[in-house]
Amino acid sequence: MKCVINRRAQFSASHRYWLPELSDAENQQRFGACSRAPGHGHNYELFVSMEGDLDEYGMVLNLSDVKPVIKEQVTSQLDFSFLNEAWPEFQDTLPTTENVARIIWQRLAPHLPLVRIQLFENPELWADYTGDDMEAYLTIKTHFSAAHRLANPKLSMEENKEIYGKCARPHGHGHNYHLEVTVKGNIDPRTGMLADLVDVQKIIDEHVVEPFDHTFLNKDIPYFAEVVPTAENIAVHIRSLLAAPMQETGAQLHKVKLIESPNNSAEVYCEAPVEPKSLAEGSSAQELTAV
């Protein structure tokens, strides 16, 4: 039986986004504050995912054997280092989060049965790499606060309460929503970037965070005048709002995950871009909550 196991590790390092073939002004324009000398640092969090068959002892791998491999091949070399000079690979391609994840894969692949490398630069930014040449995934986490009411206006109060419970109360209720937006693309062989983070963040802010923050979704967002704003439907709508503009960054929207509370979240992938039907088109509330 196949099983995936995950091993966590950490290292602290600095890096700088700087290309010697560009002038100071060009580096500043392209990389912003990340181009400043002598660089800046992060407490990186690394997750190494490995797959294999369970052995007679109930293990894929003995973690006592995995830990020293990760330390020898990665963390002992990168901890308290300047990444641009730590490994020769970063002379050709800058040590962005996504590219560091890719090179860590290359360093560990001869020793471990990898299925994924996940590298957190900070709790709001991380990269995933699965061994597919230059393709990687980058996730930005942000948040907004909003209220909503779960009720189909075509149903009675009693019917809505039967379906949505307390969430159908007339004046609604609020959440501090956490939003994770994942894009995928090919890592640029020189800059190390699959997309410009500033552009990605700007799109998320302009199309979602600013319009949605401190609103009553049912009343302030026209789309939800006819669609019940469940977590699922909000995630689907956000996907539709971001898919086209995100392509302008050179990356493709891959996934939207909306965390409504610590106990409730929804995620949708961009491979299925169809939005739910509106109430005006005759969909039932049950249909609207299915993604």
- DSSP assignment of 156-206 equals -HHHHHHHHGGGG-TT-EEEEEEEEEEEEEEPPTTT--SS-HHHHHHHHII
**Positive or negative CA dihedral for 71, 74, 77, 81?**
negative
* The last residue of a domain, from among 69, 104, 131: 131
The reported pLDDT for the residue numbered 153 is 87
Give the count of domains, the chain.
Answer: 2
Pairing verdict, β 173-186 and 135-148: antiparallel
Closest CA to 98 of 120, 115, 73, 113: 120
Does one domain contain both 166 and 99?
no
List the domain range (segments joined by +) for residue 151.
133-291
> Looking at 131, 160, 190, which one is the last position of a domain?
131
Q: Residues 107, 144: one domain? A: no
214 is catalytic: yes
My answer on whether 229 and 144 are in the same domain is: yes
Q: Are residues 107 and 172 in the same domain?
A: no
Whether residue 185 contacts residue 136, with contact meaning beta carbons closer than 8 Å, is answered with yes
pTM greater than the 0.85 cutoff: yes
Q: Is residue 245 within 8 Å of 253, Cβ to Cβ?
A: no
193 and 246 part of one domain: yes
Q: Are residues 65 and 117 in the same domain?
A: yes
Catalytic residue among 173, 214, 275, 287: 214
CB 104 within 8 Å of CB 126:
no
In this structure, the answer to whether residues 126 and 195 fall within a common structural domain is no
| Amino acid letter, residue 104 | I
Rounded to whole angstroms, the Cα distance separating 270 from 280 reads 25
Instruction: Identify whether residues 32 and 161 lie together within a single domain.
Output: no
pLDDT 10s digits, 18-48: 999 999 999 999 999 999 999 999 999 999 9
Whether residue 123 is found in the same domain as residue 140:
no
Is 178 an annotated catalytic residue? no
Catalytic residue among 45, 51, 124, 167: 167
CA distance 279 to 290: 14
Task: Give the rounded percent of residues in the chain with a pLDDT score beyond 70.
Answer: 93
| Residues 92 and 233 placed together within one structural domain of the fold | no
- pLDDT score, position 165: 96
What is the per-residue pLDDT for 275?
Answer: 52
pLDDT in tens, 52-87: 999 999 999 999 999 999 999 999 999 999 999 999
Domain ends where: 101, 131, 161? 131
Q: Please indicate, yes or no, whether residues 240 and 98 belong to a single structural domain of this protein.
A: no
Q: Are 242 and 203 contacting, i.e. CB atoms less than 8 angstroms apart?
A: yes
Contact 147, 174 (CB under 8 A): yes
Residue 35, both tokens: 């181009």
Based on the fold, state whether residues 63 and 188 are members of the same structural domain.
Answer: no
